[in-house]
């Protein structure tokens, strides 16, 4: 019989918000202009239109990203392989990260400049402020080089159970693996999933149990209320709006959705937590499921990544889940994170039995 767990550290409530489909450089690369310690963009990074032609035109990174992108760049397993290796040959280590422009242009004429565009910090005021006041991670990679649901699965269950793409029928059938929510429940720690439309966490068999029905909480009715009353669970997941409609605009940042709505969601979550009596024991983690096809200059780790459960992906790739995905934005916010220290450290965080994130973290704060 598992024991009731105790939390000895100051943080009793971890709030996780996973946004959609943007790379680190695309969202935060130009933070380097404000803090040179951030491993972001200098303006000299480029990708050739053809990786095989030494005289190919080069597409430079720019700071002209806008809230609403006209395109949704490629982020299938095959597309990502081309983006990071420049071809289907996966032997380079580190990978050259030179195939983003070429792959995008193959998908749609003119898309190559779109994937090389990144946001000016002024256009993302919420992230810019949080990154400067708290901690921004510049070595956080998507768990797998593929699409949304498999990547989200790693967040909730440390594996995708062999899933390599968004196969709707598999998702609706339900996945059998143990999740972080089950581990928390075993340890008698509380959890809650604040959803805005559809909770994607229902893709797991175990979460469909009747005993968990009260764990699914309406974001609009209950998030502020629970926070104000000091009743947020120990592990709190916030699910953004994944589908756009005129009544309820999507706020998950996925192209073609308006990134301004994502900024408003993050601001609302942050301000709600700040006002909560639980603030002093809270850690907010804002991260992304995957890079969405946008350029990033930091080589993706391609060796010695452990397969979580021995399952491989389907033919023809038989992917062994032994490479990570592209770097994504991650910001952590807590009163326990000091501003103005400019320190760099590596740590391994073990959030529970099922979820263990191994990450290398750079805390980047402006020197005052």
Ligand X SMILES: *[C@H]1O[C@H](CO)[C@@H](O)[C@H](O)[C@H]1NC(C)=O
For ligand X, the closer CB: 308 or 325: 325
Residue of the chain from 21, 112, 183, 251 that contacts ligand X (CB under 6 A) = 21
Q: Is 71 near ligand X (CB under 6 A)?
A: no
Contacts of 279 (CB under 8 A, 6+ apart): 273, 335
Quick one: which of 72, 96, 102, 101 has its CA closest to 84?
96
With 0-12 / 13-18 / 19 or more C-beta atoms within 10 angstroms meaning exposed / middle / buried, residue 168 is: exposed
- What's the maximum distance between 2 C-alpha atoms anywhere in the chain? 66
Smallest gap from residue 72 Cβ to ligand X (A): 6
Nearer to ligand X, 82 or 254 (CB): 254
CA distances from 100 to 118, 144, 215 (A): 13, 17, 40
Residue 35 or 228: the one with the smaller Cβ distance to ligand X is: 228
By CB under 6 A, the residues from 280 to 309 that bind ligand X are 280, 290, 292
Least distance between ligand X and beta carbon 42 (Å) = 25
Exposed e or buried b for every residue in 299-331, given b needs 16+ CB within 10 A?
bbbbeebeebeeeebeeeeebebebbbbbbbbb
Interface pick for ligand X out of 102, 165, 183, 196 (rule CB under 6 A): 165
Number of residues that bind ligand X (CB under 6 A): 42
Comparing CB distances to ligand X, the nearer of 234 and 364 is 234
Binding of ligand X by 151 (CB under 6 A): yes
Q: Which of residues 74-93 bind ligand X (CB under 6 A)?
A: 75-77, 80, 89, 91-92
What does the alpha-carbon distance between residue 190 and residue 215 come to, in Å, rounded to a whole number?
9
> Binding to ligand X by residue 216, rule CB under 6 A?
no
Which of 29, 86, 99, 325: binder of ligand X (CB under 6 A)?
325
| DSSP secondary structure string for all residues of 327-359 | B--EEEE-TTSPSS---EEEEEEE-SSS-EEEE
Tell me if 289 sits within 8 A of 20, measured CB to CB: yes
Q: How far is the CB of 80 from ligand X (least distance, A)?
A: 5
Give CA–CA dist 257/276, Å, rounded. Answer: 30
Residue selected from 41, 114, 131, 144 as contacting ligand X according to rule CB under 6 A: 144
With residue 168 as reference, give the H or E element that holds it.
helix 168-173
> Interface residues with ligand X (CB under 6 A)?
6-7, 10, 12-13, 20-21, 67-68, 72, 75-77, 80, 89, 91-92, 142, 144-148, 150-151, 160, 164-166, 189-190, 234, 242, 252, 254, 258, 260, 278, 280, 290, 292, 325
């Amino acid at each position: 019989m598992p024991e009731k767990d105790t939390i000895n550290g100051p943080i009793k409530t971890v709030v996780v918000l996973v946004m959609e489909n943007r790379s680190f450089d695309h969202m935060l690369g130009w933070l380097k202009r404000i803090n040179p310690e951030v491993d972001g963009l200098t303006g000299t990074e480029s990708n050739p239109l053809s990786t095989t032609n030494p005289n190919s035109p080069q597409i430079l990174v720019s700071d002209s990203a806008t809230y609403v992108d006209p395109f949704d760049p490629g982020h299938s397993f095959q597309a990502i392989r081309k983006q990071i290796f420049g071809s289907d040959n996966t032997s380079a280590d580190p990978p050259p990260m030179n195939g983003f422009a070429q792959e995008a242009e193959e998908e749609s004429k003119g898309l190559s400049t779109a994937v090389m565009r990144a946001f000016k910090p002024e256009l993302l005021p919420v992230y810019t402020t949080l990154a400067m006041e708290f901690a921004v991670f510049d070595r956080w990679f998507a768990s797998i080089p593929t699409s949304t649901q498999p990547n989200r699965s790693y967040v909730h269950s440390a594996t995708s159970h062999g899933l390599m793409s968004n196969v709707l029928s598999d998702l609706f059938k339900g996945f059998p693996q143990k999740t972080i929510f089950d581990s928390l429940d075993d340890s008698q720690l509380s959890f809650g999933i604040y959803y805005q439309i559809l909770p994607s966490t229902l893709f797991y068999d175990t979460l469909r149990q009747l005993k968990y029905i009260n764990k699914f909480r309406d974001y609009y009715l209950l998030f502020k209320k629970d926070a104000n009353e000091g009743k947020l669970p120990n592990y709190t997941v916030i699910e953004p709006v994944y589908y756009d409609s005129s009544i309820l605009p999507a706020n998950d940042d996925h192209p073609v959705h308006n990134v301004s709505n994502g900024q408003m969601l993050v601001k609302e979550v942050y301000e709600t937590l700040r006002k909560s009596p639980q603030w002093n024991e809270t850690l907010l983690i804002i991260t992304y499921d995957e890079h969405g096809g946008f350029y990033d200059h930091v080589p993706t780790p391609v060796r010695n990544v452990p397969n979580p459960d021995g399952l491989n992906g389907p033919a023809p790739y038989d992917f062994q889940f032994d490479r990570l995905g592209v770097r994504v934005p991650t910001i952590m916010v807590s009163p326990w994170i000091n501003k103005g220290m400019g320190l760099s450290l590596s740590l391994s965080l073990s959030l529970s039995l099922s979820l263990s994130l191994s990450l290398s973290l750079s805390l980047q704060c402006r020197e005052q």
